[in-house]
């Protein structure tokens, strides 16, 4: 969530809500219950922010520095909202409420239980022990996860029915209704309107070639049926393949350059859906490509750069290399490190070699971990020349690799805003 000014905006909205309730507290309100209402309304604000971020509206991405960070804020605002519901429940039940509403109380209980259950479900893939036992594919996981908005709406109705403060303070009621309206509209737009809006920015393709580089990795070439999708080198798109893939959306990093007519997608069998595609995808299959997302762009960095790719993480770097202009010199000094387990897993070595031959300021370093050992930060520092703290570092690969290098780079004095990567875990 680094470099995200919108994170400050979300926190500021939550703080503003708390201040509003402290400044406009009606008289004769029990302190315990009033604190509970503050926790509850702040939770509603956080849930609303989470629902807005779940829409994936393109205009929000620049504010967060990438769709991946939008989803991080979506995840953690929802988590914070559920956490706040617990003290809300404890405080509001500690004092007798003057408004008796059997329906309102029942809806509050349903919302609380539903949101807690769905929160646990959302984090199942990350739980060390439970995640291994409950193997839910993405589509089944997402189908249940999308009910979160319904329970938020139930909670909104609960608050309107049982909260005595809202009936005594027009200002607090106005703020509550504004937040509730935004959250409800965001959820309805995503669930009801998006299926009709999606064709507006959809780009139709057909699979022209499927190159199976090894049993786990394919390089798929798509040919546009109409207008090709506009994108910046290094971005990714959500693609729906027809046929046996059943139009399930999945994010794929684009491996081709913006000036190319054909769209290259290189991916590895890492889950049920990608495994099915690697095994069964055939030329002639229809594909629907959505808008391009991502802020992983070396052009935004300084002149001296280090690129580190692990395995299939070479994909955005390949897009960058293919986007170099042959008739112009490269205005960046780049050391590119590509690490794979062995020669059979190495991809696009000819393209890397061609790029290095055409551009003297682009130097490639290939590491085969089974033969050479794991790539280390010491090797990078020794072979790249100059102080690492003065360079911009771009990382793409396994999560553990990114985490390891990020930690080591920070210890060596590389500023956080010089370390660039994206997180492709959207659940």
pLDDT the model gives residue 98: 62
Tell the residue number behind the tokens 């010199």, with chain if given.
329
Rounded Cα gap, residues 164 and 34, in angstroms: 10
Q: Summarize the confidence of residues 76-85 as an average pLDDT.
A: 91
Q: Summarize the confidence of residues 402-424 as an average pLDDT.
A: 90
Asked whether 182 and 171 are in contact (CB, 8 A), the reply is no
* Segment holding 142, helix H or strand E: helix 138-145
pLDDT the model gives residue 427: 52
Candidate from 113-122, 178-187, 230-239 with smallest mean pLDDT: 113-122
Rounded Cα gap, residues 81 and 118, in angstroms: 12
Full DSSP string of 31-84: HHHHHHHHHHHHHHHHHHHHHHHHT--GGGHHHHTSHHHHHHHHHHHHHHHHHH
**What is the domain partition of the chain in residue ranges?**
5-197, 202-293, 298-420
| Fold match between domain 202-293 and domain 298-420 | no
pLDDT the model gives residue 163: 85
Other CB atoms within 10 Å distance of the CB of residue 113: 11
pLDDT the model gives residue 305: 95
Other CB atoms within 10 Å distance of the CB of residue 165: 20
Quote the mean pLDDT of the chain: 87
Name which of 165, 158, 152, 154 is nearest 105 in CA terms: 158
pLDDT of residue 422 exceeding 70, the answer is yes
pLDDT the model gives residue 207: 95
Sheet holding 236-241, edge to edge: 249-253, 236-241, 286-293, 203-214, 217-224, 263-268
Name which of 180, 175, 179, 129 is nearest 156 in CA terms: 180
Q: Summarize the confidence of residues 373-385 as an average pLDDT.
A: 91
In this predicted model, what pLDDT tens digit does every residue of 110-144 receive, in sequence order?
998 988 888 877 776 665 555 555 555 666 667 77
In this predicted model, what pLDDT tens digit does every residue of 144-177 receive, in sequence order?
778 888 989 999 999 888 888 888 999 999 999 9
pLDDT of residue 345 exceeding 80, the answer is yes
Taking only Cα atoms into account, the Rg of the chain, rounded to an integer number of angstroms, comes to 25
Asked whether 162 and 97 are in contact (CB, 8 A), the reply is yes
Name which of 148, 149, 119, 112 is nearest 36 in CA terms: 112
pLDDT the model gives residue 1: 39
The percent of residues in the chain predicted with pLDDT above 90, rounded, is 54
In this predicted model, what pLDDT tens digit does every residue of 21-36 receive, in sequence order?
999 999 888 898 899 9
Query: What phi, psi does 401 have (nearest 5°)?
Result: -65, -45
Name which of 335, 314, 420, 330 is nearest 383 in CA terms: 335
The predicted model scores a pTM of 0.83
Q: How confident is the model at residue 415 (pLDDT cuts 50, 70, 90)?
A: very high
Name which of 241, 206, 210, 245 is nearest 226 in CA terms: 206
pLDDT the model gives residue 135: 56
Other CB atoms within 10 Å distance of the CB of residue 251: 17
* Residues 6+ away with beta carbon under 8 Å from 317: 307, 309, 336, 338, 394, 396
pLDDT of residue 212 exceeding 80, the answer is yes
Name which of 134, 152, 137, 160 is nearest 190 in CA terms: 152
* Better pLDDT: 341 or 270: 341
**CATH superfamily placement of domain 202-293:** Translation factors (2.40.30.10)
pLDDT of residue 100 exceeding 50, the answer is yes
* Better pLDDT: 21 or 423: 21
- Angle among Cα 46, 52, 57 to the nearest 5 degrees reads 150
Handedness of CA 124, 151, 190, 66 (dihedral sign): negative
pLDDT the model gives residue 407: 93
Asked whether 222 and 205 are in contact (CB, 8 A), the reply is yes
Which CATH number applies to 298-420: 3.40.190.10, 3.40.50.300, 3.40.50.80, 3.40.50.620? Answer: 3.40.50.80
Name which of 278, 317, 73, 48 is nearest 179 in CA terms: 48
pLDDT the model gives residue 386: 79
Show the 3-state SS of 6-46: HHHHHHHHHHHHHHHHHHCCCCCCCHHHHHHHHHHHHHHHH
* Segment holding 338, helix H or strand E: strand 333-340
pLDDT of residue 388 exceeding 80, the answer is yes
Tell the residue number behind the tokens 């690697």, with chain if given.
278
pLDDT of residue 9 exceeding 80, the answer is yes
Here the tokens at position 247 are 């139009």
Q: Summarize the confidence of residues 258-274 as an average pLDDT.
A: 90
């Amino acid at each position: 969530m680094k470099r995200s000014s919108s994170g400050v905006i979300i926190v500021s909205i939550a703080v503003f809500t708390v201040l509003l309730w402290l400044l406009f507290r009606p008289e004769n309100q029990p302190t315990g219950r009033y604190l509970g209402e503050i926790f509850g309304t702040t939770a509603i604000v956080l849930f609303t922010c989470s629902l807005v971020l779940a829409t994936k509206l393109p205009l929000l991405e620049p504010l967060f520095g990438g769709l991946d960070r939008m989803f991080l804020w979506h995840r953690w605002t929802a988590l914070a909202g559920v956490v706040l519901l617990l003290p809300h429940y404890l405080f509001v039940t500690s004092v007798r409420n003057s408004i008796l509403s059997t329906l309102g109380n029942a809806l509050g209980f349903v919302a609380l239980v539903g949101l807690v259950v769905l929160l646990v479900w959302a984090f199942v893939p990350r739980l060390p022990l439970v995640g291994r036992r409950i193997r839910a594919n993405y589509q089944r996981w997402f189908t249940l996860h999308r009910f979160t908005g319904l329970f938020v709406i139930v909670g909104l109705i609960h608050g309107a029915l049982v909260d005595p403060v809202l009936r005594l303070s027009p200002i607090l009621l106005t703020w509550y209704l504004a937040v509730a309206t935004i959250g409800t509209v965001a959820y309805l737009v995503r669930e009801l309107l998006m299926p009709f809006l999606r064709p507006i920015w959809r780009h139709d393709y057909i699979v022209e070639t499927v190159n199976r580089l090894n049993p786990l990795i394919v390089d798929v070439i798509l040919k546009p049926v109409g207008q090709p999708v506009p994108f910046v080198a290094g971005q990714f798109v959500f693609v729906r393949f027809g046929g046996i893939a059943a139009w399930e959306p999945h994010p794929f990093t684009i491996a081709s350059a913006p000036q190319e007519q054909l769209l290259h997608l290189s991916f590895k069998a890492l889950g049920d859906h990608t495994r099915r595609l690697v095994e069964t995808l055939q030329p002639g299959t229809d594909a629907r490509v959505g808008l391009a997302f991502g802020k992983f762009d070396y052009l935004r960095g300084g002149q001296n750069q280090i690129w580190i790719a692990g395995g299939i993480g070479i994909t955005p770097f390949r897009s960058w290399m293919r986007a170099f202009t042959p008739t112009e010199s490269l205005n960046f000094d780049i050391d590119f490190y590509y690490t794979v387990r062995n020669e059979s897993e190495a991809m696009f070595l000819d393209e890397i070699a061609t790029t290095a031959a055409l551009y003297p300021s682009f130097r490639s370093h290939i590491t085969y971990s089974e033969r050479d050992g794991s790539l280390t930060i010491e090797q990078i520092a020794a072979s790249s020349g100059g102080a690492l703290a003065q360079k911009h570092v771009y990382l793409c690969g396994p999560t553990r690799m990114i985490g390891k290098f990020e930690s080591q780079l920070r210890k060596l004095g590389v500023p956080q805003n010089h370390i660039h990567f994206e997180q492709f875990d959207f659940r």
